[in-house]
Structure 1
Amino acid sequence: MSAVPSSVNQAPGLPSAPLDPQVSQLLELIARAKRPPIHALDPEDARIAYEKSAPILDISPPAVHATEDLHVPARDGHAIPARLYTPREASWAEPLPLLAYFHGGGFTVGSVNSHDALCRLLCGQADCMVLSVDYRLGPQWRFPTAVNDAFDALHWVFAEAGRLGADPARIALGGDSAGGTLAAASAVEARNAGLAPVLQMLLYPGTCARQDTPSHRALAEGYLLTAEMIRWFFAQYLDQEASRDDWRFAPLDGGGSGADVRNVCPAWVAVAGYDPLHDEGVAYAAKLRAAGVPATLANYPGMIHDFFKLGRFVPAVAQAHAEAAAALRAAFGQS
């Protein structure tokens, strides 16, 4: 589904477009399996369950030129695991663009392994390096640890670009769901630090302080990500209720006005029609545009949350993959 212009207003609550038939069949299969939902498990078991389910639903991992597991130093001395994907040989004469990517999972589950296929796909289709960051998760590490890890990875990528074979003038930020929150916050941090990423690619990002939008209310049950699951994720992640009003948690409206997004890098924001997070993604793109930031809203009305990782069962996801890669290539100045 193609990007929609800013003048298109999304209907509140339930979308008017039908659910994608393959998505509907997948939801029926999941319901018939009767596996306990993530929020019914303890966090460690939830992480194991998520890791096991990811390769079942996702596309087969595409081949890339090379991968390297490395570590990024955090401000507190922790070594943040990361995986670097390279589409072809880099050299000092021909450095490659780079996408710093933050995986989704409600700040509680997910890893570089759960998002391996997606990062490989973006590496190949966008012809760029991808640095997938394994930031720390709750409840062992609560807010703002994940944000601090993301910010530390941001600064490290710009500082080490030359050594990695990356072009510091062509670095993008990206993430899905909770990782989209981290990418959006990192774009603000980059502006504050005088760094200049070329794009923030936000895939169904979480951006609001409280889950009370029409899409949250209308899509609270039945579409993979549920209201109860969201509450559970944030119970693992937040250090205190007041942190909901920190812009690093809620760049849309934390503290009332949210993050100051003037002069942040351009954005490509993907939203799914049957996603509780739909409205806050739409609103964040509008917030960016209101601040004078170029922001493309890519609307996928028949999709659900996490659909970028459902390509094995949902053929239409391939088009979204292609459009995300095209947005990256355009930001990198590639044909």
Structure 2
Amino acid sequence: MAEYRHLATPHPHWGNYPNNLPPNTRILKLTRDRLPITPQPGLEIEEFNVPARDGYPIRVRSYRQSPVSSTSALPLLIWFHGGGFVTGGLETDDVSCRAIAAAFPLVVLNVEYRLAPEHPFPVGFEDSLDVVRWAASPNTQPTLHTDLSKGFILGGTSAGANFTAGIAHLLVQDTATDPETNSNELSHPTPVVTGILFLAGTICHEDARPPAYQDRLLSIDEITESAGLTKEVIRFLAEKYEAPPSDARRSPLLFESHAGLTLRAAVYACGWDPRRDETLLLEELLRGEGVQTKKFVYSGLPHGFWMTCPDLDESKQWEKDFLEGVSFLLEG
């Protein structure tokens, strides 16, 4: 998207990273850590396992306001962390999941899907899809105290955003396979996804770009050096993940239709990010399908800047924008 090239001029704090950061700036690294839950007043935070299609216990951390009412079912938000499909975990976005649950009466599920290279494509994607189908089941909703007619939101950052887009597409396909029956029709229809949170995500491998979008996906070629995500890093992660570029689960842009994915979408694009144009293109495609969208664009800021340096003013502004986006999705 040539009209967005100006967004790649680095913000003063981020050019020559990390040398221009303010003194004593906290810099966080992605890890696979799973730490004991730290209690937070006003929140009930629990962990449990959801069985994957191969029997693997997928760890999920849930958040909701306390005390929990047994009579009031809540909307549901399922979150997939970032980390290039090879790192990240329950701690990556624990702070954000807590912030959502503290601000809104809903249930948040934070998914610890399996990672490459130990578990290459499509294991992490299928883990995430299995949790979505489990949570959306009429048998599960009474246990979670959720009512998806009040709100059913999928969201994630980077790799997690990629999962969000791919899963949303699969949920509208009539021929989706039921993981329980292995039939060509779901034994229970999945409720409509009412909202999508898409943060700095990828919707197409650079080697599988359709000709119609060649001039719309320029940032992956033009932004080769950025704080936090370079072309070399992208290639390294892709080799570990082992996803075929033309598989639509890796490249959701390749699905034949983008209709019916959701009712509303909040999209967050970083200007100095190889994934910038994919994020902005997804917003355009959804808006073209009649989806109500809210777009946040951060000029000069790199991929996932809010996770790397959460104490900077620009990251604190993102926190406000993030909750604004969730609020927007819950309005529908």
Residue type of the alignment partner of 1:235: E
Aligned residue pairs total 299
State the match for 1:38 in structure 2.
Answer: none
Matched, 1:307 2:285: no
The match for 2:143 among 163, 168, 193 is 163
Deviation track 1:69-112 (CA, whole Å, cap 9, x = no partner) reads: 11111111111011011123332422222210000001000001
After superposition, residues 12-27 of structure 1 pair within 5 angstroms as 12-15=4-7, 18-24=9-15, 27=18
Q: Is there any run of 5+ residues in structure 2 with no aligned partner, and where? A: 22-27, 174-188, 210-216
Are positions 1:215 and 2:229 aligned together? no
Alignment counterpart, residue 184 of structure 1, candidates 133, 153, 165: 165
CA 1:238–1:121 in 2, change beyond 3 Å: closer, same or farther? same
Equivalent position SS for 2:59: strand
Q: CA offset at residue 158 of structure 1?
A: 1.2
Measured at CA, do residues 290 and 269 of structure 1 come closer, stay the same or move farther in structure 2, by a change above 3 Å? same
Residues 64, 123 of structure 1: 8 Å contact kept: no
Partner residue of 2:260 out of 263, 280, 291: 263
> Residue 125 of structure 2 aligns to a residue in which SS?
helix
Partner of 1:247: 248
Kindly tell me: are residues 29 and 73 of structure 1, through their superposed partners in 2, closer, same or farther at Cα, counting changes over 3 Å?
farther
Q: Which string of whole-angstrom CA distances, capped at 9 and with x for unpartnered residues, describes residues 282-312 of structure 1?
A: 1111122223333332211132101231453
SS of 1:100's partner is: strand
Inter-CA distance 195–302: structure 2 relative to 1 (3 Å threshold): same
Matches within 5 A, 1:77-92: 77-92=55-70
Q: Which has the higher helix share?
A: 1
Q: Does 1:195 align with 2:191?
A: yes
Letter of the 1:178 counterpart: A
| Structure 1 runs not aligned, ≥5 long | 1-8, 31-47
Task: Note the C-alpha offset of 1:227.
Answer: 0.5
Q: 2:155 maps to what in 1?
A: 174
> Which residue, out of 56, 69, 73, partners 1:95?
73
The reply to whether residue 122 of structure 1 matches residue 131 of structure 2 is no
Match of 2:234 in 1: 230
Alignment RMSD, CA only?
A: 3.0
C-alpha contact (below 8 Å) 2:49/2:58 kept by paired residues: yes
8 Å Cα contact 1:80/1:133 also seen in 2 = yes
Partner of 2:318: 320
Q: Distance in 2 between matches of 1:274 and 1:106?
A: 17
| Structure 1 segments of 4+ aligned residues over 4 angstroms from their partners | 52-55, 60-64
User: Match of 2:51, as an amino acid?
Assistant: P
2:30 pairs with 30, 45, 50, which one? 50
CA shift in 2, pair 1:54/1:226, >3 Å: farther
Q: What amino acid is the match of 1:21?
A: P
* 2-structure distance, mates of 1:168, 1:53: 30
Question: In the alignment, is the contact (CA less than 8 A) between 1:14 and 1:215 conserved in 2?
Answer: no
1:200 and 1:290 map into 2 onto residues whose CA distance is 15
* SS of match in other structure, 2:152: strand
Residue matched to 2:180: none
Change beyond 3 A, Cα 1:64–1:19: farther
The answer for the alignment partner of 2:178 in structure 1 is none
- Describe the superposition over 1:158-196 as per-residue Cα deviations: whole angstroms up to 9, x where unpaired: 122221122222121000000000011121222235421
Q: Percent identity among equivalent residues?
A: 27
* Mapped partners of 2:122, 2:276: distance in 1: 24
Give the secondary-structure state (helix, strand or coil) at the position aligned to 1:75.
coil
Corresponding letter in the other structure for 2:143 = R
Aligned 8 A contact 1:172 1:198 in 2:
yes
For residues 28 and 11 of structure 1, what CA distance do their matches in structure 2 show? Answer: 29
Deviation at 1:29?
6.6
SS state of the match for residue 220, structure 1? coil
8 Å Cα contact 2:32-2:88 kept in structure 1: no
CA distance in structure 1 between the partners assigned to 2:284 and 2:30 by the alignment = 32
Counterpart for residue 273 of structure 1: 271
Q: CA deviation at 1:280?
A: 0.7
